[in-house]
Amino acid sequence: MTVVNEMSDRIQAQRLLLAQMMEMIDIVRGDAIRSRPGPFRKAEAIPLFKPQSVSERAAYVSEELRKLATEHVELSEFVRAMNEVVRRLEITSVISLEEDLQEIRAQWLDDVVTEPGDTRALEVEPSARVDAASLLIDSLRRERRKPTVQEKRTLHQAYEALAQGARTTLPYQPMPLPGHGVTQTHMSVTDPGEGHVHGTTTREEFMRGVIVHVEHLERANQDRSSLESYRIPSVLNVAKVRMHVGNRAPVTSFIGRPLFDSGRFHLDLWKVVHTMAAAASAMFQQGVAECKFAMERMTASQIIEFMRCLRSNVLRNPRTQYLSAAFNLNTPIIDDRNGTERRVTDRREIGLLGIELVKEGGFDKVTWDGSADTYPSVPVMEQIPHATAVELVHRAHERGLLTYFSAGFRLPQISAAVYAGVDGVGIGGAQILRYMDMETGFHGPFQPENIPAILAARDEAARSPLGRAAALLARLDWAYSQGRISESQNKLRIQLYEALCRKDVEALISDGPREVAA
């Protein structure tokens, strides 16, 4: 081995060691926050910078340890031990430092075991390394066990490969069609990424009837005109989440609203479309099943043109990778399609208009969002009546579009979404899955312990007469959109829609299972 190769191997080993230290700091900090009584406080946003070189990572670790010592004096011994590893980084063998780090991990984290576990070497092509790590994660999840030290190192080697351009090539899970999944209404558990890696994807039962959605939720109490309610996440985070999910659930990503530099639609359209198409294409190449775009700051005719142009420039498999258009029910739309301008402000009308625009623009899914300038948001299901929610979902399904509600969901609002038969519910952030400083708006650790309650609320609603009726209507509406429905089934479909709007469905579903089109 040449001197150059030896230096390269040492640098790579140091990077891997420091990456593990960064993860350990995050986990220990999260545990300390969870155990501390009183309101959560945070003065800084989630960092955008991701240190890569050895010097960058060493400086980052040192700074985070300094903050940790200030914020949590009870962790002083952990900080001291970790600082000692950093101090010896250039003068001690990485093998010796790794042994010291594992002693710290065993004392403070207890997240690995000493059994042999999976000892397969991963000195292979980077994408194969990532795929092997994804399969390892799936095994750990199914066997409900902690990784060994070697397996933990394997995962970090895969993270390094992802950061250097490798990707998961194993099959991904596409979006379920209405009435054909394990449940009709899927919980779109939402996080910028780290919460999914260390929470959502760690338990098999956490991903039943779940969409693993990646987006940046933190907006620091800013109004929507200054800062989007939801923003595009790090593509590296998306890649990590995809590796951890494997094919257990669909992975989706938010892209955002168009950025018009000049404020003149046609002058900016070329750049906007190509920029957003490139972002979505990068996500789809990771095995993402859906990318979502916010339809804001455009008139109705501009929205249609934007969707058509974007659709024709995104690299994806259109049969299994979908484009979703999000319409904010609190943001008026100027409908200028017929040569005159009409300002649409009513939430129901905005929702119905969204269906028309998505169909004309050629996207696959319509999202109705209820966020406003306040955060946490007022639940969207409290902003529209039950009959309107049912109508929106029904009209979209019968036109061959998937559906989604977002904003403000907590446990009490889940049943209302299930009773509407919607395909997906955006749930996460400070509403239920993240700590948040109510003064600054900055987010804290993920709360995976709340996922079972979320899924239980969904399942209970799905078993009820209204939930069963909504699922049956979704299946019939989808069959209607595909032209695969009999006359008697279509009659039932119309009756079921009217009954569901009235919440009077028992007579239609009490006779037991009915033959429904595939």
Spatial distance between the Cα atoms of 199 and 189, rounded to a whole number of angstroms = 11
If we measure between CA atoms, which residue out of 109, 184, 213, 89 comes closest to residue 470? Answer: 184
Q: Residue 344, CB half-sphere, CA atoms under 13 Å: how many?
A: 20
Alpha helices per DSSP H over 36-148:
54-71, 76-87, 94-108, 126-143
Spatial distance between the Cα atoms of 6 and 25, rounded to a whole number of angstroms = 29
Q: What tokens does 388 get?
A: 């309107």
Residues forming beta bridges with residue 324, ordered by sequence position: 292, 365
Residues recorded for the chain: 518
DSSP summary character for residue 147: P
Q: What tokens does 149 get?
A: 């030290």
DSSP summary character for residue 233: -
If we measure between CA atoms, which residue out of 14, 30, 26 comes closest to residue 160? Answer: 14
User: CA quadruple 407, 40, 238, 134: dihedral positive or negative?
Assistant: negative
For strands 424-428 and 434-436, give the pairing.
Answer: unpaired
Query: Who's near 267: CB < 8 A, 6+ residues apart?
Result: none
Spatial distance between the Cα atoms of 458 and 185, rounded to a whole number of angstroms = 8
Spatial distance between the Cα atoms of 411 and 473, rounded to a whole number of angstroms = 24
If we measure between CA atoms, which residue out of 54, 62, 119 comes closest to residue 87? Answer: 62
Q: Which pLDDT does position 314 carry in this prediction?
A: 98
Query: Who's near 138: CB < 8 A, 6+ residues apart?
Result: 246, 248
How crowded is residue 48: how many other Cβ atoms within 10 Å of its Cβ?
Answer: 7
Q: Which pLDDT does position 225 carry in this prediction?
A: 62
3-state SS string for 148-201: EHHHHHHHHHHHHHHHCCCCCCCCCCCCCCCCCCCCCCEEEEEECCHHHHHCHH
Q: Which pLDDT does position 231 carry in this prediction?
A: 85
Q: What tokens does 248 get?
A: 């257990």
Spatial distance between the Cα atoms of 396 and 402, rounded to a whole number of angstroms = 7
Q: Does domain 186-461 have CATH number 3.30.565.10?
A: no
Residues forming beta bridges with residue 424, ordered by sequence position: 186, 404
Residue 51 one-letter amino acid? P
Spatial distance between the Cα atoms of 261 and 204, rounded to a whole number of angstroms = 45
Residues forming beta bridges with residue 253, ordered by sequence position: 214, 291
Spatial distance between the Cα atoms of 165 and 401, rounded to a whole number of angstroms = 34
Stated as kind and residue range, the H or E segment containing 26 is: helix 3-35
Contact between 238 and 251 under an 8 Å Cβ cutoff? The reply is yes
How crowded is residue 274: how many other Cβ atoms within 10 Å of its Cβ?
Answer: 13
Contact between 151 and 117 under an 8 Å Cβ cutoff? The reply is yes
Stated as kind and residue range, the H or E segment containing 473 is: helix 465-481
pTM for the model stands at 0.91
Contact between 237 and 194 under an 8 Å Cβ cutoff? The reply is yes
Q: Which pLDDT does position 190 carry in this prediction?
A: 94
Positions of the chain with pLDDT under 70? 1-7, 115-124, 218-229, 373-376, 511-518
Q: What's the gap between Cα 264 and its chain centre?
A: 32
Query: Who's near 87: CB < 8 A, 6+ residues apart?
Result: none
Q: Which pLDDT does position 430 carry in this prediction?
A: 74
Task: Give Cα separations from 245 to 7, 236, 316, 450 (angstroms).
Answer: 34, 14, 20, 19
What would the pLDDT profile of 456-476 be if each residue is shown by its tens digit? 999 999 999 999 999 999 999
Residues of the chain with CATH 3.20.20.380: 186-461
